[in-house]
Amino acid sequence: MSKKYEDNSKILKISEEEYLKKKEAVTSFFSDKAYVKMTFKQIANILNVNKNQIHILDSILTDLENEGIIYIDDSKRFDLTKKLGLLKCTYSKKNERYGFGINIENEEDIYIQKENSLYAMNNDEVLVEKLTNNTGKLVEGKVVKILKRNNEKVVGTFVKNKNFGFVIPIDTKIDDIYISKKNSINIKDSALVEVKIEKYPSKNSKSEGKIIRVIGNINDKNIDVKALYISYGLDKLEKFNKNIENELKNIPDKVLKIEMEKREDRTLDNIFTIDSEDAMDLDDAVSVKKLGNGNYLLSVYIADVSHYVKESSYLDKEAISRGTSIYIPGQVIPMLPKKLSNGICSLNAKVLRLALGCDMEIDKKGNVLNSNVFKAVIKVAKKMTYDNVYKTLENDTKNIDKEYIKYKKDLVLMKELALILMKKRKNDGCIDFDIKETKIVLDKMGDVVDIKPYEITIANKIIEEFMLVTNMTIAEKFFFLDVPFIYRIHEKPDEEKLIKLNELLSSYKKRIKGIKNVHPSALSNILKGIENEEEKEVISTYMLRTLKIARYSNICSGHFGLSAKYYCHFTSPIRRYPDLFIHRIISNLIDNNYLLNDKNYLKYEKKAEIYSKTSSDMEKKATLIERDFDDLYIVKYMEKFIGNIYEGIVSSVTSFGMFVKLENTAEGLVPFKNMPDDDYYIYDERKSILIGEKTSKTYKIGDKVKVKLQRADTKLKEIDFLLL
């Protein structure tokens, strides 16, 4: 339901369901092949809209226009944006001169000069018209409409002048905001503030705003972290509203006897959670047995969150809105309240919990021979950690819980099966990107004390392999049942990007074959053939940038990176809404002998389409937030070591220098001015290498270099190195 409709529901005098039906009918009207551009009056006449309902049509057209589905031209006629060739984009400002429209559908970058930006701000949703040259080739774009302003409130530093002030946003891609004298009374110079924008920028004026709260002073400890936290509105997500709090009162703290009825009792099985030391939201547990025929029985149990989060409840609506939990150093901003995420839904040890189970019989080659999905009640025998599982499997049992020894046979069997599944995935052509994630270590005061690569062991791999095979099994099973579903898809890369990747790989005497109809194994084999682990990591990173971004869809079109025809997210309903949504469908099917009536089918079909889009959008935002916090903490840590010398690997080459990644995962730029030998370096874009004009010295991705840390700017989240 659109915001406009929510605000005017009493005026419209129409139910949400009826409004959405009318909106769908109007959208279909525009999509008809026979439709030609019409005015509002013409549309109303053809649709036979009476005077009493003309305001409803007006509201619907406004909604569709704001959503970027239709566009009204200078002659006041409406048409579908797609018919007009207009693209719905997110505006990404690069600098004062230009920015890019990021096509929401395919992530394509469209260059936009400042004079063609309609003065959109960074992250605004915009409609972009393609501008082409004489040959019809797309050269750049022009913003024709700003659909949604995504910077209503901004955090920044207040600079006070005699008769006015201005705020310098912490997001450096947003221009200064003018603050009138009356809107800045009693605000001290250099205060960190939150501003509400009251007037957006135009050709002749900057944006104007009003200070709504003082956050602190720029010299306060960890104020940069606090500012980033508030700028993303995370402080507003710390608590849940009163309606949700009231619903939580009706949710029990422990499993009730009546809830266990019609569920399989698996409470006596050896079931384990394996997770990080500090994990509190445990939504997956596993058990492995060896069958008499030599096959394995893998049982995966996932928290039955949909049992507690009822459809259309306030809890459900909030989960849809959040879409995902957000993980930043030292803190989780959960999708669901802690009573659920850390309590009754978390598969804590030694207590009864409700779960959706999936039994899979797997042969010695890793093939799933048959599977069964069911509702269960379980009791986890032991909460295990990756570190202690690894030590147990490596016979390093000093200083670990003695109970691990008791379950060693179970762990050995898990490892055995995980290695079989891993081998099968690699044989199928799955691309294993060897990219180290950053682990940021904070002390009790919230200060960053270390950054290092996140250690991945066989213990992590066990859970990863078990979750992957479960997600594939669930997706395939429900695809062939032909029910509405949300899948996790990853489309094939564009041929143009693969050509560029091949040009880079030519420097390493490697080439991807068959790019017109590329198979994942073509990329996978490239990585397998690189023996140098550091070189493999940076090429993995470059290759990953070549691929499209995985997303949710109600259409099952396969997962390229995993080389899987069927894939979904089923295993994390505590922290991801698509998992929770498909749990609800699965539960409905189990309860009704796998029959879905027409009403539910149509309802879930529509919701699957909507939630695929909203969940993909929220996932993007969460990823951006998590990356931004990681970048800030990395720079905060590195600023302690200005002047230190490090060995690193060239991770990227650009027209303005090269990026170098250190062993601790920190990455920084060596600008051309910081290159040695008083040489002028030429950027070969085709091969992604730098060539010294005088010395012919070359630098390419994967080269080892020695650098000196010259600058660590926490405001810009940038690190600069001097090449030695």
Q: Reduce the secondary structure of 626-668 to three states and give it as a string.
A: HHHHHHHHHHHHHHHHCCCEEEEEEEEEECCEEEEEECCCCEE
Contact 526, 433 (CB under 8 A): no
Percent of the chain with pLDDT over 70: 98
Is residue 532 very low, low, confident or very high in pLDDT (cuts 50, 70, 90)? Answer: confident
Of 27-36, 290-299, 526-535, the range with the highest mean pLDDT is: 290-299
Of the ranges 56-60, 77-81, 470-474, 497-501, which one carries the lowest mean pLDDT score? Answer: 497-501
Is pLDDT at 89 greater than 60 in this prediction? Answer: yes
What is the rounded end-to-end Cα distance, in angstroms, of the chain? Answer: 58
CATH number of 642-723: 2.40.50.140
Higher-pLDDT residue of 472, 55 = 472
Fold annotation for 153-231: OB fold (Dihydrolipoamide Acetyltransferase, E2P) (2.40.50)
Helix axes 242-249, 314-322, angle to 10 degrees: 130
What is the spatial distance between Cα 237 and Cα 220, in angstroms, rounded to a whole number? 23
Of the ranges 98-107, 112-121, 518-527, which one carries the lowest mean pLDDT score? Answer: 98-107
CB atoms within 10 A of CB 150: 15
The dihedral region occupied by 322, where left means phi > 0, alpha psi between -120 and 50, and beta the remainder, is: alpha
Is residue 400 very low, low, confident or very high in pLDDT (cuts 50, 70, 90)? Answer: confident
Is pLDDT at 163 greater than 90 in this prediction? Answer: no
Higher-pLDDT residue of 451, 3 = 451
Q: Write the pLDDT tens digit of every residue in 310-319.
A: 999 999 999 9
Is residue 138 very low, low, confident or very high in pLDDT (cuts 50, 70, 90)? Answer: low
Handedness of CA 467, 468, 471, 473 (dihedral sign): negative
> Mean pLDDT over residues 282-300, rounded?
98
CATH 2.60.40.10 fits 3-80, yes or no: no
- Position 175 scores a pLDDT of 92
- Position 11 scores a pLDDT of 52
Strand order in the sheet with 382-385: 264-265, 368-379, 352-362, 296-303, 284-290, 272-275, 382-385
- Position 137 scores a pLDDT of 66
What is the spatial distance between Cα 238 and Cα 218, in angstroms, rounded to a whole number? 24
Is pLDDT at 10 greater than 50 in this prediction? Answer: no
What is the spatial distance between Cα 489 and Cα 551, in angstroms, rounded to a whole number? 6
CB atoms within 10 A of CB 598: 7
What is the spatial distance between Cα 222 and Cα 331, in angstroms, rounded to a whole number? 15
Contact residues for 210 (Cβ-Cβ < 8 A; gap 6+): 179, 183, 195, 196, 198
Amino acid symbol at 513:
K
Is residue 136 very low, low, confident or very high in pLDDT (cuts 50, 70, 90)? Answer: low
Q: Write the pLDDT tens digit of every residue in 656-714.
A: 999 999 999 999 999 999 987 778 899 988 888 999 988 889 999 889 999 999 999 99
Tokens 């180290």 label which residue? 436
**Closest to 255 (Cα-Cα) out of 178, 359, 376, 344:** 344
Q: Write the pLDDT tens digit of every residue in 332-346.
A: 999 999 999 999 999
Of the ranges 432-436, 469-473, 629-633, which one carries the lowest mean pLDDT score? Answer: 432-436
Percent of the chain with pLDDT over 90: 77
Taking only Cα atoms into account, the Rg of the chain, rounded to an integer number of angstroms, comes to 28
From residue 524, alpha-carbon distances to 478, 518, 519, 528 in Å are 28, 11, 9, 6
- Position 14 scores a pLDDT of 77
Strand 177-180 to 208-217 pairing:
parallel
Is pLDDT at 8 greater than 60 in this prediction? Answer: no
What is the spatial distance between Cα 187 and Cα 165, in angstroms, rounded to a whole number? 10
User: E strands, 53-190, where?
Assistant: 70-72, 78-80, 86-93, 98-103, 109-113, 125-132, 138-148, 153-160, 164-169, 177-180
Domain spans of the chain?
A: 3-80, 86-148, 153-231, 242-489+559-628, 495-547, 642-723
What is the spatial distance between Cα 578 and Cα 556, in angstroms, rounded to a whole number? 14
**Closest to 452 (Cα-Cα) out of 436, 430, 469:** 436
> Mean pLDDT over residues 317-331, rounded?
97
Is pLDDT at 90 greater than 60 in this prediction? Answer: yes
Contact 168, 240 (CB under 8 A): no
Q: Write the pLDDT tens digit of every residue in 572-597.
A: 999 999 999 999 999 999 999 999 99
- Position 2 scores a pLDDT of 38
Fold annotation for 86-148: OB fold (Dihydrolipoamide Acetyltransferase, E2P) (2.40.50)
In whole numbers, what is the pLDDT of the chain averaged over residues? 92
Is residue 135 very low, low, confident or very high in pLDDT (cuts 50, 70, 90)? Answer: low
Contact 645, 455 (CB under 8 A): no
Is pLDDT at 348 greater than 90 in this prediction? Answer: yes
Is residue 362 very low, low, confident or very high in pLDDT (cuts 50, 70, 90)? Answer: very high
Is pLDDT at 3 greater than 50 in this prediction? Answer: no
What is the spatial distance between Cα 562 and Cα 558, in angstroms, rounded to a whole number? 9
Contact 353, 380 (CB under 8 A): yes
Same fold, 86-148 and 642-723: yes
Amino acid symbol at 722:
L
- Position 4 scores a pLDDT of 41
Handedness of CA 42, 46, 52, 58 (dihedral sign): negative
What is the spatial distance between Cα 214 and Cα 570, in angstroms, rounded to a whole number? 43
- Position 7 scores a pLDDT of 42
Residue 252 CB burial class (10 angstroms; 0-12, 13-18, ≥19): exposed
Contact 528, 427 (CB under 8 A): no
> Mean pLDDT over residues 427-450, rounded?
92
> Mean pLDDT over residues 58-78, rounded?
93
Amino acid symbol at 593:
N
Amino acid symbol at 154:
V
**Closest to 617 (Cα-Cα) out of 127, 194, 67, 99:** 67
Amino acid symbol at 58:
D
CB atoms within 10 A of CB 500: 16
